[in-house]
Structure 1
Amino acid sequence: MTTNKARRATPSLPSPAVAFAQSELGQQLVRVMTEGSASSKAIAEYLLRNHVRLAALRIEELAEGCQVSTATISRFARDIGFRNFAAMRAAVAEVLQGVLQPVEKLRSTIERRDGAGVPAVESLEYAAANIAASASGLQLAELDKVVHQLTRASTVYVLGFGLSSYLAGLLALHLQPFCPHVVEVAGQGGTEVAAGHLANITAKDVLVVISFPRYALDVVRLAGFARSRNACIVSLTDAPASPLAELADHVLYAPGEHPVLSSSSAAALAMIEALAVTLMVSNKENVDKAARLTEAISAYLYGADAGSAARPGKNARK
């Protein structure tokens, strides 16, 4: 018998950060991050990442958080179309009311469920919510463009440090059968090894760069180097305020909110699988490659016919 507890469903909601960035005001801040002065970029990034806190901040506190003067904050507010700081803060609050209402409802639902307060249960609930947010916010046209770039690239480089290095390794493994040449940039090495791999990157290549809070500075620097060489940059990250978002030609978002960890990798893993599947079925040739790959390794899988698994060598029976 299926119980109500077993039928738990996580609503399909975009993450608050992505939803805010997709609003008219959020899009304006994203443009400032790309085109504005250094001080304006700092303020825009702070607002995109800390929009929830802004409603409770005084102008002096915001200036301190952005490491600029209060006069610079006031000028920024006027530059993006508001009379003063208070008007800008009110506009952010208005956007947040629509963005956060469904998210807060989801969080309240999680807290009321059986097992609320149990870290393991709460962690799994947030993982499910992040995956649902990724699905809800996924731009299929953007995913298709990424697949197109991967298919036509001379070399696909995949980069991630720390926990993201494991995600990079998994993505590289998925891409290898379907791309002419795939290089896992960091591998078992560090920045020096990664820089060596990227030394010869060109405009014919694609760099897929992966990073989540806490972002690795070296990832940002190496992505910037690849961009200076005119390579296509694909970023897999958590939110529009990520430093990788403004560096990328194409961005795939995987929210990483978690009540304890600095970031959850569940949605990133799901997005990697979604990208791999989209690539696999993108053309008949790839479908044929997948079939040949399955056939080639089937003899080495558990449960395969023992006779087909035997190979010449000292252990083969005569």
Structure 2
Amino acid sequence: MMDSTFTDFSHKVYKTPLMQQMIQVADGLRHNGGTQGEKQTALYKVAYFILQNPWLSPTLNIERLAEGACTSTAAVNRLANHMGFNGFTGLREALVQHLLALVSPADQIHSELAHHPERGFGLSQQVRLSNGNLEALLNANDDEHFDAIVKAVSQANHLYILGFGNCHFLAGLAASCLVPHCAHVVTLNMEGGSENAAYRLATISQGDTLLTLALPPYTRDTLRMAQYARRRGAAVMAITDSPASPMVDIADHCLFAPPAHPVLRNSKVALLAIIEALASAVRLRNLEPVNESIRLAEDALQYLQRTGSDPHD
């Protein structure tokens, strides 16, 4: 008899509730097979085959599954009923759902839209997609690189924030989040064109930091300006989509913001989360500049209130 105890169950494919149940059932059948006869042995063969082929099994019909397990279709149905499913149909549906749970939310939703285009795209799908990208963000980054970028941003003599293409508005958002907490912030985006942005970047030097936002499709100007800043001795930090990004070869440190979206060109949720995290970390790191900024803002507000009370003042 085959022994499932030699299978490596540490892979994430075995962490779903269905596979955990299948492992327990196979273990019980393996120990009871010798005392309860050939029927239990046949059920064990089906369970063992599914465990050995977790990606293939959901795609097989009952005949192919029985053939692969070297047993009968009746044994497949008995295993399904033994596990609490309504025959093979219920088991196969559970196997398909198990497989979908391992696929990225973007792929799941893309499949749903392809099979049921009449249902359209809803808020619940966007939330699922955003949760998936945020979970991928956590898996793709570590505290070491995050802390390094926080340090480079907070200690920069001048902080330049670069974002072209579909990162144009996010560069402005990042600047607005970081202006109160950094000494001097310069936004480099498409306002005024790339030539104007290059002109503002011309004086970057050692002691300054360039924070680059780059999602596909990457713009040539973004890469060239990042290379220029590096040649000038500035620290170059990047928030980009993945280790395959060309920014990885240019930047000193990178954070990755997975942008998967089945409808739009990119999802910006993960990138926005990183921007807010950086702003929060820099704010706590630079408490004195924060307090000074608050004081100046309060002074400005009081001035406006005073002058606003008398139009002739």
TM-score (ref. length: structure 1): 0.58
Q: 1:278 is matched with which residue?
A: 281
8 Å Cα contact 1:158-1:183 kept in structure 2: yes
The residue type paired with residue 120 of structure 1 is G
State the distance in 2 between where 1:268 and 1:192 align. Answer: 26
Alpha-carbon distance between aligned partners in 1 of 2:151 and 2:243, rounded to the nearest angstrom: 22
2:55 matched to which residue of 1?
none
**Which structure shows the higher helix fraction?**
2
1:312, distance to aligned residue in structure 2 (A)? 3.8
Cα distance in 2 between the residues matched to 1:289 and 1:217: 38
Q: Deviations 1:182-209 (Å, cap 9, x if unpaired)?
A: 1002351221011111111112110011
How many residue pairs get aligned? The number is 212
**Is 1:186 paired with 2:182?**
no
- In structure 2, list runs of 5 or more residues that go unmatched: 1-11, 13-98
| Cα shift at 1:235 | 0.5
Match of 2:122 in 1: 120
TM-score, with structure 2 as normaliser: 0.59
Q: Which residue of 2 aligns with 1:8?
A: none
Q: Give the 3 Å change call, closer, same or farther, for CA 108–134 of structure 1 in structure 2.
A: closer
Q: Which residue of structure 2 aligns with residue 243 of structure 1?
A: 246
| 1:281 Cα deviation after fit | 1.0
Flag structure 1 segments of 5+ consecutive residues without an equivalent: 1-12, 14-99, 301-307
1:175-254 maps to which residues of 2 (within 5 A)?
Answer: 175-186=178-189, 188-254=191-257
Q: Are 2:251 and 1:255 equivalent residues in the alignment?
A: no
What are the within-5 Å matches in structure 2 for residues 7-46 of structure 1? none
Following superposition, the deviation at residue 222 of structure 1 comes to: 1.1
Measured after TM superposition, the shift of residue 314 of structure 1 is 5.5
Change (3 A) 1:101 1:260: closer
AA paired with 1:165?
H
> Using the alignment, how far apart are the partners of 2:232 and 2:195 within structure 1?
18
8 Å Cα contact 2:154/2:285 also seen in 1: no
Higher RCO structure (Cα 8 Å, ≥6 apart):
1
Offset of residue 135 of structure 1: 3.0
CA offsets 1:71-96 (integer angstroms, 9 cap, x no match): xxxxxxxxxxxxxxxxxxxxxxxxxx
What's 2:156 paired with?
Answer: 153
Cα separation, 1, equivalents of 2:293 and 2:143:
22
Partner in structure 2 of residue 311 of structure 1: 307
Asked if structure 1 preserves the Cα contact closer than 8 Å seen for 2:180 and 2:290, the reply is no
Deviations 1:233-277 (CA, angstroms, capped at 9, x unpaired): 111111010111221101111100010222111111111011101
CA contact (8 A) 2:106 2:262 kept: no
- Cα 1:108–1:161 shift into 2, 3 Å: closer
Distance 2:165 2:232 in 1: 25
Greater shift, 157-166 or 187-196, is seen at 187-196
C-alpha deviations, 1:83-141, integer Å up to 9, x for none? xxxxxxxxxxxxxxxxx9964175687678xx995323433421221122213433122
Cα offset for 1:176? Answer: 1.1
- What is aligned with 1:142? 145
Which is further off, 218-227 or 135-144? 135-144
Structure-2 separation of matches of 1:117 and 1:140: 40
Q: Percent identity?
A: 35
